[in-house]
Structure 1
Amino acid sequence: MSHRYDVVVVGAGTTGAAAAYHLTQAGVSNILCLDMGTPGLGRTEARKVANGTPLTQPDEETFVPHYSGTRVFEGGQNGPRTIKMIVTLPPYEMLDGIADLFGWDGVKTYLELAQHGLKLELDLARKFLPNPDQQVKQNGSLMVCEADRSERLRQEFNFLQSLGCPCEWWDEERVIAAHGASAGYVAGIWFPQDARIDSVSFAKSLLDAALKTGSLTLRDQCSPVVDIQNDDSRSHAVIKLEDGEYLEAKQVIVATGGMFFDKQLAGILIPRYSYLAALPHIDPGPLGGMDAPDSANFFTLGFTHDWCVENNFVRISGEDHYSGLKSPRAKQRCGRLAQWGWTKYPYLEFGADYPATYGIYSETPDFMPLIGKTDPESCVCYMVGCNAWGQASLSAAAALAAPLLGYRDMSEAEQRTADLFSIRRFSAR
């Protein structure tokens, strides 16, 4: 038996939730949002092996990944929730790397859309989150480097300045004052508008707002999507679930890059793990005192690590890019993050117990999101890609849900975003 909808959104993380919300605001009705677990978290229990036995050891060879890239800590003693970044950080290590692919006009478009996406997500978060003062922290971010890379960072700053990106240069004295001498950082670029957010609560709040319109149905804890195909007539799409159920929709938005494998995305979308460790932080130190309410978000040039002080923890994420097709080795990878933190900030208690977790996201060869349809006649629209660089670009992409599906016209700025992120940059050769 199949059910017909106007639009089915696959995935209820921040991107899928935002897409569903924007569709309801454009007057679209009869929308279904699917999530195989909890909105913003994905499946929160491991899948089962063939004999039906749950996989309880996260590093077993047969382990199947399940957490969403939107995942945050549980809060309280289990680690800080407000950790997901919304930053204007561009993909690639340096802006000239993007310019090699898309030209400097493409770089400027990216920076503009990232700033738009950041503002859009902050506006929605402050409107819908129940405790925005606690769940949104717009305290800026600082990109730092060690001495051997300071000239390269200065070059990046010059690029950003020439393109009108709001930022300022931090010299060695100022960076050491923020991090201490042991961290080894000597220069930084400060982005005052950047923020971090409780992304799980944000996704849930957007879905709640969409549900109140009466235009959206949410089906969580549903059987995973295993296939999406255009009907032969291309009048609708057919979605197959793992339990054998079929759904039909005039159009589908695929907004789950880490847990759904689509042959259209083969070779251009790779599932990756991202790891999180939260080291206890109760002694005042260079990163701030207890609770550090004004702590910025920090990240390295090249984005190997990002971290901040939040609710008596130094939250560290990194060790990304380990294949999401393999066992996550979460204990080993999170342990390396902890070792990194204790080395950089020796005032932290070495060897202390700490919360740790991981999520799975997806990455493209050029680290840019994929949006749109592989051909104009398709009923399947993609909205997937790397959120490890911050959710600003994905927020800008999700706001295009209605025009991408033909429910309204695009503005000139939206068209530039759609062109830069178009999936056809890979598929139309």
Structure 2
Amino acid sequence: MATDVYEVIVVGAGTTGAAAVYHLADAGVKNILCLEMGTPGKGRSTAGHVPGGAPLIAGEESTFEPENSGSAVFEGGPCGPSAIKMIVTLPPYLMLDGFAEHHGWDGVKAYLDLAKRGLRIELQLASKVLPRPKEQVKQLGSLMVCEADKVERLRREFDYLRRLGCDCEWWDKDRVVDAHGEAASFVAGIWFPGDARIDSASYARALLDAASKMGAVKLKENCAPMKSVTTIHVGHAGHAKGAEDYAEIRLEDGQVLRAKRAIVATGAMYIDEHLAGLLTPRYSYLTALPHREAGPVGGMAAPDSPNFFTFGFSHDWCVEDDFVRISGEDHFSGLKSPKATERCGNLAKWGWHKYPYLEFGATYPQKYGLYSETADLMPLAGMPTASCRVCYMVGCNAWGQASLSFVASLAPALLGYRELLPPEEPGAKLCSIRRFTGKAVVASARVSHSTQSKL
């Protein structure tokens, strides 16, 4: 039986959960408990580490933990660039018109607005709470590139972005080749000057420390994984109508915790009655190729190079701490064995092929983690029903942390501690967990005549 009742329990101390805690504390909420089964910003990632050596040998891993944390980050130093996450405005779909099929062009505009808002919120918070923001946050921009067969489609994407007011510019072949070299075969790109990357583990810890200084939160690290979370009805003696709803969280070690409200901010969480059929578990793979000597390519070889990603987001990469950090191979199901050695090996081969000045066959750090994504690749935010006391902030952030930073900023409003502001409403509806249940008014999937005529 639970003994203490918290105001809010936040499950997950990654960048989303930690930011939700901070925004709640900043809104005056006290008595918050934050649960993390690993460490803030990193999760329980040791089980997801793949040792170096024999990087190109395919094989099944001997251990398989589908509940393993999705915060796949490196530890720093010789173990790879530490805890780097991208904050980008990249829309979560191959093409904006594909995203419009789900949410309409008004929905596309709402997404771009919330991504811009989320990026700004995260950068402002980072400059406020991080001890060395100039070192721990790098606003160097992002470049989305493509090969010759996709130039026409990329140009159409650029036209959509510009007409919708996105801050971006077109890069022709000369500029892209200057940044990546001829061997990479990239011939066109879209430049997003406002994008950034962040030391996410330090950011999550700093947010929690700031909330702790406000007297708002108790952090419990390395706790047992969550077994279940439900809304319960508790009656009170002497009150004929004195029943209250609480969020009840059961951990695998038998602990039972209660709160007036709870936030589930575990990106890999998918085994849940409210999430059944909404989230698909996936693996995320990381490889870091040694980059100790500057190569013949300018932008790629620069110590402070921007974020890079392919059109369609099959790969993203950057130069950081003497490594080329490469992520990709994300489409394999998290319900199967991860095959991390093979998948990370594929990323390494891709990197050596694109940038032949890198040392082929060099030993490199590699990593995998678990995440989950929705059919429209947008986060799930909010409570599934009006009577539910559990608020979800889950889903893929592989498209950049901007959308989840925006969602986390809504925590006080989603839990009822303040009203949603008018500028927040379109983004909140776009991310609403109820968009798949028909219980909320969301943007139509049809293109409105007024918006269509502009495109």
Q: TM-score, normalised by structure 1?
A: 0.94
Q: Name the residue aligned to 1:171.
A: 172
Mapped to 1, the partners of 2:297 and 2:20 lie a distance apart of 36
Q: Could you say if the C-alpha distance between residues 336 and 184 of structure 1 is closer, same or farther in structure 2, counting changes exceeding 3 Å?
A: same
Mapped to 1, the partners of 2:103 and 2:366 lie a distance apart of 37
How far the C-alpha of 1:68 sits from its partner, in A, is 3.3
List gaps (5 residues or longer) in structure 1: 48-57
Equivalences for residues 390-429 of structure 1 within 5 A: 390-428=400-438
Q: Which residue identity is paired with 1:283? A: E
Higher deviation after alignment, 343-352 or 62-71: 62-71
* Conserved 8 A contact 2:122-2:402: yes
Q: Name the residue aligned to 2:304.
A: 294
List gaps (5 residues or longer) in structure 2: 49-58, 234-242, 440-455
How far the C-alpha of 1:189 sits from its partner, in A, is 0.2
Q: Name the residue aligned to 1:122.
A: 123
Q: Could you say if the C-alpha distance between residues 194 and 20 of structure 1 is closer, same or farther in structure 2, counting changes exceeding 3 Å?
A: same
The answer to whether 1:327 aligns with 2:337 is yes
Kindly report the root-mean-square deviation, in angstroms, between the aligned alpha carbons of the 2 structures: 1.8
* Conserved 8 A contact 2:83-2:201: no
Q: Name the residue aligned to 2:187.
A: 186
Mapped to 2, the partners of 1:185 and 1:289 lie a distance apart of 13
Mapped to 1, the partners of 2:387 and 2:300 lie a distance apart of 56
Q: Name the residue aligned to 2:286.
A: 276
Mapped to 2, the partners of 1:60 and 1:351 lie a distance apart of 21
Q: Name the residue aligned to 2:156.
A: 155
The answer to whether 1:347 aligns with 2:357 is yes
Mapped to 2, the partners of 1:307 and 1:290 lie a distance apart of 10
- Runs of 4+ displaced beyond 6 Å: none
Q: Name the residue aligned to 1:303.
A: 313
Question: 366, 380, 386: which is aligned to 1:376?
Answer: 386
Higher deviation after alignment, 381-390 or 317-326: 317-326
Mapped to 1, the partners of 2:204 and 2:135 lie a distance apart of 16
Q: Could you say if the C-alpha distance between residues 234 and 262 of structure 1 is closer, same or farther in structure 2, counting changes exceeding 3 Å?
A: farther
Q: Name the residue aligned to 1:55.
A: none
* Conserved 8 A contact 2:140-2:306: yes
Mapped to 2, the partners of 1:206 and 1:143 lie a distance apart of 30
Find the residue that maps to 1:71 and give its secondary structure: coil
How far the C-alpha of 1:203 sits from its partner, in A, is 0.7
How far the C-alpha of 1:77 sits from its partner, in A, is 1.6
How far the C-alpha of 1:327 sits from its partner, in A, is 2.0
Mapped to 2, the partners of 1:68 and 1:272 lie a distance apart of 12
The answer to whether 1:266 aligns with 2:276 is yes
Q: Could you say if the C-alpha distance between residues 160 and 79 of structure 1 is closer, same or farther in structure 2, counting changes exceeding 3 Å?
A: same
Q: Could you say if the C-alpha distance between residues 422 and 68 of structure 1 is closer, same or farther in structure 2, counting changes exceeding 3 Å?
A: same
The answer to whether 1:213 aligns with 2:214 is yes
Equivalences for residues 234-245 of structure 1 within 5 A: 235-245=245-255
Q: Which residue identity is paired with 2:110? A: T
Mapped to 2, the partners of 1:230 and 1:308 lie a distance apart of 43
Output one character per residue of 1:365-393: Cα deviation in whole Å (capped at 9) or x when no partner. Answer: 10000001111121111111111000000
How far the C-alpha of 1:289 sits from its partner, in A, is 8.4
Higher deviation after alignment, 143-152 or 259-268: 259-268
* Conserved 8 A contact 1:291-1:309: yes
Q: Name the residue aligned to 1:54.
A: none
Mapped to 2, the partners of 1:74 and 1:61 lie a distance apart of 22
* Conserved 8 A contact 1:397-1:418: yes
* Conserved 8 A contact 1:224-1:242: yes
Output one character per residue of 1:86-134: Cα deviation in whole Å (capped at 9) or x when no partner. Answer: 0000101011111111111111110011011001111111221222222
Mapped to 1, the partners of 2:224 and 2:274 lie a distance apart of 21
Mapped to 2, the partners of 1:417 and 1:184 lie a distance apart of 37
* Conserved 8 A contact 1:9-1:16: yes
Q: Could you say if the C-alpha distance between residues 211 and 287 of structure 1 is closer, same or farther in structure 2, counting changes exceeding 3 Å?
A: farther
How far the C-alpha of 1:287 sits from its partner, in A, is 4.6
The answer to whether 1:251 aligns with 2:261 is yes
The answer to whether 1:86 aligns with 2:87 is yes
* Conserved 8 A contact 1:283-1:289: no
Mapped to 2, the partners of 1:312 and 1:426 lie a distance apart of 44
Mapped to 2, the partners of 1:177 and 1:234 lie a distance apart of 64
* Conserved 8 A contact 1:305-1:317: yes
Q: Name the residue aligned to 1:16.
A: 17
Mapped to 1, the partners of 2:185 and 2:244 lie a distance apart of 58
Q: TM-score, normalised by structure 2?
A: 0.89
Equivalences for residues 221-236 of structure 1 within 5 A: 221-232=222-233, 235-236=245-246
* Conserved 8 A contact 1:22-1:399: yes
Equivalences for residues 62-101 of structure 1 within 5 A: 62-65=63-66, 68-81=69-82, 83-101=84-102
Q: Could you say if the C-alpha distance between residues 28 and 287 of structure 1 is closer, same or farther in structure 2, counting changes exceeding 3 Å?
A: farther
Output one character per residue of 1:238-271: Cα deviation in whole Å (capped at 9) or x when no partner. Answer: 1111111111111111100314621211111122
